[in-house]
Amino acid sequence: MLPGGISITDNSKNTVILIFIAYNFNMFRLLVLLILLSVQVMASEPEAKKIFILGDSLTEGYGVSKEEAFPQQLNKLLEKVYGTKYQVVSAGISGSTTASGFKRLQWITKAKPFLIVLALGANDGLRGLPIEATKNNLVKMLSYLKEQKVKVVLAGMKVPPNYGKDYSKEFDNIWTDLKKNYSVELIPFLLESVAGERGMNQEDGIHPNAKGHKVIAENIFKVLKEHL
């Protein structure tokens, strides 16, 4: 009995061989067709647009797992609304200030990002670095992204009140001035509803816990969705 229920009633070996070859050839053609269709479907699916978050230990997710950190939380929020259209890429390095941002940005743009969330400046403020230096570093990055025609969202930062009213006010003005002068979209304060909230932070009182990271992701998403 041949495959397909064909009975061997002819003693001719040639006939049997021809039937067997024809059957298998048709199966082979069907297999090739299925493979080609699968490849065509995969090729038709567009590559996810990359959204990079350039930041420091907040972006890196210091003290929490990768899944709990806000970049991954943001990715989940985007997937719920847009499916796999966008992919969030974390580019956070602990201890980073705005001084290191430009060089890192040059590497990131090689990956052809759709949008970059610029989330640097927190360490500048915590270290009490000169306001003008921080602002100039951010200006350099924003100017570069404009030249590269890459969308950017700026994440505003604040310093604790114990740094003095003058320094705090000047630091706050960095972000509002950049929004005004460079027509950049601004998240007023990245850590809104997280900073200073006991249940949202780790024991050091600086780095958010998992709950805090979830709120940060929501803060970014509220602004980000208007530009997707």
Among the options 56, 96, 124, 207, which is catalytic?
207
pLDDT tier at 17, thresholds 50, 70, 90? low
Instruction: Give the number of residues written for the chain.
Output: 228
Q: Which residue has the higher pLDDT, 13 or 142?
A: 142
Q: Which of 38, 57, 166, 193 is catalytic?
A: 57
Record the pTM: 0.80
Is 207 annotated as catalytic?
yes
Query: What is the rounded average pLDDT for all residues in the chain?
Result: 87
12 assigned to active site: no
CB distance 62 to 207 below 8 Å: yes
Q: Name the active-site residue from 7, 12, 44, 204.
A: 204
The residue-averaged pLDDT of 34-61 equals 77
* Least confident segment among 26-35, 105-114, 171-180: 26-35
Strand partners, 53: 90, 117
Which of 3.10.105.10, 3.40.50.1110, 3.40.250.10, 3.40.50.720 is the CATH number of 46-227? 3.40.50.1110
Q: Which residues of 134-143 are buried (b: 16+ CB within 10 A; e: fewer)?
A: bbebbbebbe
